[in-house]
Amino acid sequence: MKKIILISIFFFNLSFLIANPISSLSFEQRQSLLEKVKLAIEKEEAIAKAYELYLIKEYKKASSLSVLLTDDYLGRSFPKNFTGSDTSYFSNFVIATSNGNEYINYRLKSLITQNDTHIKSLYESDTFRKKTFFYDGKIYIILKTNLAKSIFALIKKQNQDLLDCTNSSSKQYCTKVDTTGKFKTHIYIYSSTSKTVANLLMYYLPENFEKGPILIKDDISVYNRDEFKLIPVGARLYDFKGEKYLKTFDDIRKVN
């Protein structure tokens, strides 16, 4: 099976290069460039994966590539840039923000983008991408898990990472550590920056977000707020009085 896959990949590369020649480059140079483009995408996919992991472990956005270059994420040996002749084709990695959305900089240099539309199209296509996509000159990161999507949405909405509740007096989404013995972090969501019991909308352990239990305010009038729309369909919910609910496609439904 592996031989069949390798042969298929080889003939894909060969047919691509023959059908789409790059002027002034030899066959070996063209093949090498194609492999480097695929490698560039592979590294961008690794960054996107590490970014999502960082988001759900730290409750904050990765401010730069450097914070991901640890043993917990990309690893310290991750190649931050291309060296030698590769610098003619690729720029170094940069993580940036546009309208609150995270992206990796477009890395093909003008030598490629201006002179070879086929390599450019391959780089911009979804052929080798699962956690990234090209749009408007940028490589955007795709978040796969509901928890990551929710944390990112909360951060974007309040324009601040989810900090400890005692250190984020001006924000309404934050974290608390249960000090009763388990020392696990909960995410707390309030209706305003006044963090009173009356303003508490919900709280949950991040590892319970997908299926529940999630503790929610015993007030049906608040269930149409955007914060509740982030809860995954099928998650089990309990209000502060112990009544059981279920998140459906359309609403939050009480379970008898």
Q: Domain containing 32: what range?
A: 21-141
Asked if residue 3 belongs to a domain, the reply is: no
Question: How much is the average pLDDT of 84-95?
Answer: 82
Last residue of a domain, one of 82, 106, 141: 141
165 and 230: one domain? yes
Could you tell me whether strands 236-239 and 244-247 are parallel, antiparallel, or unpaired per DSSP bridges? antiparallel
Asked if residue 16 belongs to a domain, the reply is: no
Number of domains in the chain: 2
At residue 170, the pLDDT reads 87
Question: In this predicted model, what pLDDT tens digit does every residue of 124-143 receive, in sequence order?
Answer: 999 999 999 999 999 999 99
Asked if residue 10 belongs to a domain, the reply is: no
Residue 6 has pLDDT above 90, yes or no: no
Last residue of a domain, one of 141, 169, 194: 141
* pLDDT band, residue 115 (cuts 50/70/90): low
Return d(Cα 214, Cα 11) in angstroms, integer.
51
Poorest-pLDDT segment among 77-86, 96-105, 147-156 = 77-86
Residue 5 has pLDDT above 60, yes or no: no
∠ CA 142-146-151 to the nearest 5 degrees? 85
Return d(Cα 136, Cα 139) in angstroms, integer.
8
Asked if residue 64 belongs to a domain, the reply is: yes
101 and 195: one domain? no
122 and 25: one domain? yes
174 and 62: one domain? no
Asked if residue 8 belongs to a domain, the reply is: no
Last residue of a domain, one of 125, 141, 157: 141
150 and 234: one domain? yes
What strands, in cross-sheet order, belong to the sheet with 252-254?
Answer: 173-177, 185-190, 200-204, 214-216, 236-239, 244-247, 252-254
